[in-house]
Amino acid sequence: MNPKEVVYVVSDSVGETAEFVVKAVATQFDIGQIDIRRNSYVEEIEDIEDVIILAKRSHSVIAYTLVIPALKEYLDLRAKEEGIQAVDLLHPLIDAFSKRFNKNPRQLPGLVRKLDEEYFRKIEAIEFAVKYDDGRDPRGILRADIVLIGVSRTSKTPLSMYLAHKRFKVANVPLVPEVPPADELFEVPRRNCIGLIISPDKLNEIRKERLRALGLASQAQYASFERILDELDYAEKIMKRVGCPIIDVSNKAVEETASLILDILKKREE
């Protein structure tokens, strides 16, 4: 059985990009499987020298994604001296971008990885918001970055999703007089909890519209003024017991309320 061809991947970050490109190129050739040997987080000239020795010994190609100029220049120089094929996978495109946008690259390793991590944090936060929406599972209260509490139709769910896109894990809990709040609500740090209130008139209007959208009579108890006053009074008592800051969402867009919540969190961190 013929030995596998070896390609050395060198990167000052993880090296996933270079490995992916090498695999894509290898599929275009009938050479069987290749042995990709990844050298990640290369930061010193000595690291490059080790790869040069190994690549020369096995007559291998080196594919690299080095954004630090000194490392790139050294690898190019040593590869030329030793007669090794070394392929720069980044700089031709970096140079094209520099010319097109008239800007210099940041030359910082690992930026793609950071972007990926930000993306996955956002997805995780969105999944969290869905799982712990509307008080479905009180265990989420203690795991959340932000806990929103309020009566029905105070924009808890839209706010949860909006904040999730900002990578915050949000749980929201409806306050209903007939349903005692979960014990976890009184265990959560006050700085993580936000109470949402609304004017009785505005809530009456919103609930009537909601009932009409569902094809139900707008005179239902859900939208009655007396019921609304009872709920708001109950919610205020719970919020005072929790000791959380309170935001009036009566005439605010979701983005505006979210901005106020983030301001509150920022001030408390400071």
CATH number of the domain where residue 58 is located = 3.40.50.2300
Domain identity same for 136 and 99: no
**169 is in which domain, residue-wise?**
118-269
Last residue of a domain, one of 58, 83, 109: 109
pTM given for the model: 0.61
CA angle 233, 228, 179 (to 5 degrees): 65
Structure token pair of residue 244: 């959380």
Counting Cβ atoms within 10 Å, is residue 218 exposed (0-12), middle (13-18) or buried (19+)?
Answer: middle
145/25 same-domain check: no
Identify whether residues 126 and 232 lie together within a single domain. Answer: yes
DSSP 3-state of 159: helix
Same domain as 248, residue 144: yes
Pairing label, strands 5-11, 34-39: parallel
**What element of type H or E holds 124?**
helix 111-131
Q: What is the pLDDT along the chain (270 residues), one digit of tens a residue?
A: 456 889 999 988 878 888 888 998 988 888 778 899 998 888 888 989 999 999 999 999 999 988 888 888 999 999 999 999 999 998 888 778 888 878 776 666 655 555 567 777 888 899 999 999 999 899 999 999 999 999 999 999 999 999 999 999 999 999 999 999 999 999 999 889 999 999 999 999 999 998 988 888 777 889 999 999 999 999 999 999 999 999 999 999 999 999 999 999 888 776
Q: Which of 109, 143, 171 is the last residue of a domain?
A: 109
Please check whether residues 246 and 156 belong to one and the same domain.
yes
SS3 content of the chain, % helix, strand, coil (to 5): 55, 15, 30
Is residue 29 domain-shared with residue 158, that is, in the same domain? no
Q: Are residues 237 and 127 in the same domain?
A: yes
How far apart are alpha carbons 245 and 136 in whole angstroms?
23
- Among 109, 133, 163, residue at a domain's last position: 109
Q: What is the CATH number of the domain that holds 197?
A: 3.40.50
Q: Are residues 224 and 264 in the same domain?
A: yes
Q: Are residue 71 and residue 156 in the same domain, yes or no?
A: no
